[in-house]
Amino acid sequence: MIVRNAMALAAMALVLFVAPAHADTTRSCDSLVGLDLSKVADKPAHVVSAKEAQFLGRAVCQVSGVVEPQVQFRLRLPIEGWDGRYLQTGCGGLCGRITGEVAQVHGCAPFDKVEMAVATTDMGHQGPTPDFGDDPQLRVDFAHRGVHVTAEVAKAIVAAFYGRPAERAYFIGCSDGGREGLMEAQRYASDFDGIAAGAPAFNFQIQNTFYHAWNARSNTGADGKPIIVAADLPFLHRAALKACHAEDGVIADPRRCAFDPVTAQCATGQDADCLTADEVEAARKIYLGPRTADGVWLTVGGPQPGSELSWAGVYVPKPGSDDIFSRVIAGGTISHIAFDPNPPKSFGLDDLGFDRETFERLKPMHALYDATNPDLSPFVGRGGRLILWHGWSDPHISPLNSIAYYRAVRATLGAQAADDAVRLFLIPGLYHCEGGEGFTKTDILTPLIAWVEDGKAPDALLLAGDNGTRPVFPYPAIAEYAGTGDRSSASSWRAVVPASEPALRPWIGEMFLAADKK
């Protein structure tokens, strides 16, 4: 066959890459155990086991290994049909486990067909408990090193197994996995070509101390019992939807409505389907977030109106349980991770001060854990692409954090450079990473691949729900019904950019979002 022009050559190359032929391996799976990885990362790595297994009905070479001193990783290599891509996935909370969970890849063909080499790591410690923070090396592994050395070593194994390196590398993670993705873009710009960072806990120090401690304590009465319980949340949620004129049960942009939880308070003589004055006050504190006695805000914001049903289990106990996530994560972070040195063992969540002094004590570890640097010039300069995404109904991490970071990136890079490389999507009704109300399932990875490989920036994500589809557009645009057509069809909605943007309140940590304040 003779190809007669450059356009035909380019088209043929694109077809060959998007739909690659069978990728034969150059060595057996079990031979990877003897692979020399002593000089790939900053410390020697070892393949502990390599054996053929099944994943989603496809044969893979499943590799388990460790990067010294104890960063464990797992890598799945397709035996047949590798598409030349490497994907690394993040983990949430305080990690400490190797998981196959990946948020928001619903319908992603390369993932579902097991065509990508996929790795993940426990980030240097085993188990979700926070006592790894007592070891300085394990703090570094968790903060950023674990993900980076896993990328280096996994890529080396990929190249050895297939006889060629991965053509493209991607990272996708949510929650702490979102923080991990941003840390990669900021510290290790050459590790990945495309990064999808969902609901990122990038402001780790303040997020896991002030934010969660405040919410836990705001919903604890003088008797030590919760003020708001799960049965109260529907009444609060109903009032929020009414105040915000929610369409189809979700709020498109909660910042644009004035909601006071007092509207859910019981009227005189009413004793059901409503809140007491104490419950209203607890809710008000949670929405507003922590501040000092003299009125200085300690976070950029709290959970948004419309998120109320997702509070159960986070700072409102679920029925039949007294446990709440906020108390667990804040207590562990305060005791073992956030301070240097650790406070006395007698010091706990209820001893944390919401004041400038505590903020100053948190600052020394900011440069280690936080991924707040908006200067993505090295990542963007080499062609890197970043998709940020967050649910408006996220109770764990306020979506206002992602807005603050995105705005800082635009201010640092310039509007055009940021538009060329970064997108933010805010999903109405979505809880933390997965679940929620309305249209909350999407595929983040396929648009990211298309952006990196084809230069096609995502102008919308397609959201799926029980009753159809709906688009979500890049921030600051919101989806508006076009006035005709089926409301449950994405084609009946259009992007509208509001004339103005609500301001973010001044808060004590906004200095972290400056490029020269790492």
pLDDT digits (tens, 9 = 90+) for 426-446: 999 999 999 999 999 999 999
Break the chain into its structural domains and give their ranges: 23-157, 206-352, 371-518
What pLDDT is recorded for position 260?
97
Residues 122, 123, 126, CA angle at the centre, nearest 5°? Answer: 50
Both tokens assigned to 46:
């070892």
Both tokens assigned to 188:
């290790």
Instruction: Write the pLDDT tens digit of every residue in 306-360.
Output: 999 999 999 999 999 888 999 999 999 999 999 999 999 999 999 999 999 999 9
How many Å apart are CA 279 and CA 268, to the nearest integer? 16
CA-wise closest residue to 482 among 247, 198, 275, 180 = 247
Task: Give Cα separations from 211 to 204, 285, 327, 462 (angstroms).
Answer: 10, 11, 11, 31
How many Å apart are CA 407 and CA 414, to the nearest integer? 10
Residue 107 gets the label, from left (phi > 0), alpha (psi -120 to 50) or beta, of left
Both tokens assigned to 208:
């896991």
Sort strands 478-481 and 117-121 into parallel, antiparallel or unpaired: unpaired
CA-wise closest residue to 136 among 373, 339, 332, 349 = 339
What pLDDT is recorded for position 516?
56
What pLDDT is recorded for position 11?
34
CA-wise closest residue to 127 among 98, 150, 88 = 98
What pLDDT is recorded for position 24?
67
Which residues does the chain have with pLDDT short of 70?
Answer: 1-24, 516-518
What pLDDT is recorded for position 322?
85
Q: How many beta carbons lie within 10 A of that of residue 343, not counting itself?
A: 15
How many Å apart are CA 243 and CA 10, to the nearest integer? 54
Question: By 3-state DSSP, what share of the chain in percent is helix, strand and coil, each rounded to 5?
Answer: 35, 20, 45
Tokens 């408990």: give the residue: 129
How many Å apart are CA 121 and CA 278, to the nearest integer? 44
My answer on whether omega of the bond before 317 falls inside 30° of 0, hence cis, is: no
Both tokens assigned to 512:
């972290």
